[in-house]
Structure 1
């Protein structure tokens, strides 16, 4: 008896989702239906090239495998205005690298750093958002 009830329930549910097809009028005069969108005419070919969007800059992206608050940032290293200051630019933001491996984080290198941004930290560099680096690798 349960098997029969289950089969009937499946049939009822299956028939609920079906919608009967709409009837097409058989008159010879064209009619417009508000629910049927009209197809726009194709545009003529243009000799002017379409503008292209600028490349999307790399944003700092949190990693799923990292602790909460830890961030991975990829960008190009440059020397800061003050001696000993190392900056990382990713096209969107500039980070002051604190504790980056000096053998890897050299001016002109593309690197990926893992760590935590600390916008409230006081430094003598006065450039970029301070970023406490826990891992430095070539990008």
Structure 2
């Protein structure tokens, strides 16, 4: 019987060993002095710029010359200052060498298999008379 009581006492003490005692206030502390560890708040995540970029606005129109991309089936619009990967352009109008104007939305983060130009989802394609 004593052996069983000893085993139960050991199990009880082992179960309590993993628990932590609640924090206690310092034994002697003068009024007005805080000896506790200061709490430092976690840094806030960086904020994104709220300034809209013209390239991100829906319905913008860009003009340039169409060329074939380095991958088959990819059409690039070169504006002279930027290159756009035309996605959904009318392929009867947007052919290599043609000067066109496209209206749509640039999506710099869009995934494509083409390796050049800013992805541009075309809503309207028209040839420029020149």
Q: Which runs of 4+ in 1 moved over 4 A?
A: none
Note the 1:55-134 alignment, pairs <5 A.
Answer: 69-134=58-123
Say which structure, 1 or 2, has more relative contact order (CA 8 Å, 6+ apart): 2
TM-score by length of 1: 0.51
Q: Which has the larger radius of gyration?
A: 2
2: distance between equivalents of 1:137 and 1:70? 14
Deviations 1:62-84 (A, max 9, x none): 8xxxxx52210000000000000
* Structure 1 gap ranges (5+): 1-60, 63-67
* Structure 2 gap ranges (5+): 1-53
TM-score by length of 2: 0.55
Equivalent residue, structure 2, for 1:138: 127
* Paired residues, number: 74
Q: CA RMSD in A?
A: 1.5
